[in-house]
Structure 1
């Protein structure tokens, strides 16, 4: 029997594959999946003069489109998801911010339903188990030590959809909670921390595997007190998150981290709050108020940087144009590495037969020309079918 699935053949683009760039490559989509194509297939779309990349994967995002995952509303969450999808992020996990445990459990209940219906790939709890001295845009009065019983409550509230939890391992219960998360199959991420080098090493040995936005919300590197940064950079078991918006990290620092860890261990994230995809103004971030001026988000009270207004297409463009990264390395950091870290590499993160047809089309200036998710164009098709 012939398949009833619609087939689309994308040709002519520079296709970024796991093996490199195929100039004038060919990708065939049937239904929601990438398949091996035939040379005589109808439905061809000519993408000459464009780039074809795997859909971006964001493992740390709080909001966008004027909405926030922490609102505890499915409607707001879908607005966040829709905003970032149009910028190429076809897979994301929802990040919360510090709140009462009961509030976070309620948010987890709402967001877990969106995971179950396929809109999200999981949940990330950032706080409340973080250091007050490095809390950034998290409400200090709501912080608490990472008691393993409380950690388990949050994970249980997510009903099997929790993929990551950020904590400060130097706090009482920190190392025990890292071990618990490993047992539960949830990523333990080190962040918003005052841990020294030795404690960070202990946390890695206990099972921590991600550095939450490396360099930000942790002690800076010092030659006699190295702190967590070198411990996280030097260990092959750690994937480091980097916010490539030009505000959170100087290009020289980003380049240093990228060269040291390599694209296999770097995940570019947005850490975006509600202003992503919007203009300047005042926005909520959990219980906090954030003012965005010229695209930079800071707390109304205190002035700390409060997430970003970044989208991953901008992070890609900056990686290539400003940081000088090869396109293949940028794609690995934006798609392949985060997909692998989140345990999603069987379905997303690269352009390969059998994977979801999550694709991003960029023009020669690396600007979004089309986005496909599971075989459906969210914007586009970018060009008319070839005659």
Structure 2
């Protein structure tokens, strides 16, 4: 059985760095983390690949819990090619696992996506692994729709969502607005099915968020984007989702840390008051990630909306709103370190073990520990990726 040994690396743990370490991987798992390699190198009976990290950083593989696509592909295209193309593009930037994410669309589009996902998962050998599906919508507030197509927005309907749940066992997360009629009950249904209900594109006030939290909504989708903050109703002030995110200690959040969706002060605010253990970085990337500036499409090629990529972000044509990011995981980590001035270990934590905990897969992914999956990424001081390793196999080499 092939063995992989990574030597001469600065190994990143959740709370510290090892300046000159070695990681040994066998049968898809990390079997040892040490500073001694001679004993392993002398076992000539075992086929061994040795990677010299050359003093660069060795990190757990990045986990992106919210992405719509990359490399000119969107998961809403509904093709195996799109799934594989997006996964392979993200792998080039250090992502070893992700949640393919849908947009608000028709029931028929969703059903097609489910069957395509199954086929793509079986054929995915060169890209970031698929951890399950994340449905974003269509149960959203019209006022907080952002770039979501308004013609598809609707309230949760048991007749519809029960058909979806019966048709697909791959959904692990569903983002929706908890203030909509029927949303609280839907949240409880999702929780019973071990699916994470997440607050998104919502006008909920603080009291509704507290109720939603107790119904299972323990996570907030792209904090600050498309959600309520302090409002006045009949002269009285009400706290919103943003305030609830900080007041509910165990609520987890994700942020699009591309340096555009959230400026430096907000990135620092989230880090200071929510902290790296409750904050995940996500790309929320559309097909333009890893692509040049210019016109693009948000959503499927057939039914999506035209957008413009400029200034490091996708925008609606009238530039009234962002239309998803074009970030990759390395850019998120880079932004947190160099713009938000966050320590390297914490920036990596928000891209690895924290999203793993949110998805409840931290027993096997998210940190470099003996017995965990051999998902790793090697990058330099500027967070430029040289190797992406999935299950002990190199899937990208620069």
| TM-score after normalising by structure 1 | 0.93
Question: Is the 1:115–1:121 contact (alpha carbons within 8 Å) kept by the matching residues of 2?
Answer: no
Q: Which residue of 1 aligns with 2:152?
A: 142
Q: Secondary structure at the match of 2:295?
A: strand
| 2:276 maps to 1:259 | no
1:184-223 C-alpha deviation (Å, 9 max, x unpaired): 1100000100001111111011110110001100123469
Q: Which residue of 1 aligns with 2:359?
A: 342
Q: Secondary structure at the match of 1:264?
A: coil
Which structure 2 residues correspond to residues 339-378 of structure 1 after superposition, within 5 A?
A: 339-378=356-395
Structure 2 distance, partners of 1:149, 1:203, is 21
Cα displacement (A) at 1:302: 6.0
Structure 1 distance, partners of 2:220, 2:73, is 26
Cα displacement (A) at 1:354: 1.3
Cα displacement (A) at 1:368: 1.1
| TM-score after normalising by structure 2 | 0.90
Which structure 2 residues correspond to residues 1-387 of structure 1 after superposition, within 5 A?
A: 5-36=1-32, 39-42=38-41, 43-115=49-121, 119-158=129-168, 160-221=169-230, 224-286=237-299, 287-300=304-317, 303-380=320-397
Structure 2 distance, partners of 1:195, 1:314, is 31
Q: Which runs of 5+ in 2 are unaligned?
A: 42-48
Question: Is the 2:20–2:55 contact (alpha carbons within 8 Å) kept by the matching residues of 1?
Answer: no
Structure 2 distance, partners of 1:264, 1:291, is 34
Cα displacement (A) at 1:93: 0.7
- CA RMSD, aligned part only? 1.7
1:258-287 C-alpha deviation (Å, 9 max, x unpaired): 211111111100000000000112222222
Larger mean CA deviation between 113-122 and 248-257 belongs to 113-122
Question: Is the 1:49–1:364 contact (alpha carbons within 8 Å) kept by the matching residues of 2?
Answer: no
Question: Is the 2:132–2:170 contact (alpha carbons within 8 Å) kept by the matching residues of 1?
Answer: yes
Closer/same/farther in 2, CA of residues 188 and 284 from structure 1, 3 Å limit? same
Cα displacement (A) at 1:126: 0.4
Question: Is the 1:109–1:157 contact (alpha carbons within 8 Å) kept by the matching residues of 2?
Answer: no
Question: Is the 1:279–1:295 contact (alpha carbons within 8 Å) kept by the matching residues of 2?
Answer: no
Question: Is the 1:55–1:360 contact (alpha carbons within 8 Å) kept by the matching residues of 2?
Answer: yes
Cα displacement (A) at 1:352: 1.0
Cα displacement (A) at 1:39: 4.3
1:119-175 C-alpha deviation (Å, 9 max, x unpaired): 4110011010001111111110111101233222223332x1101101101111111
Cα displacement (A) at 1:342: 1.2
Question: Is the 1:170–1:194 contact (alpha carbons within 8 Å) kept by the matching residues of 2?
Answer: yes
Structure 1 distance, partners of 2:358, 2:325, is 22
Q: Secondary structure at the match of 2:9?
A: strand
Structure 2 distance, partners of 1:269, 1:177, is 25
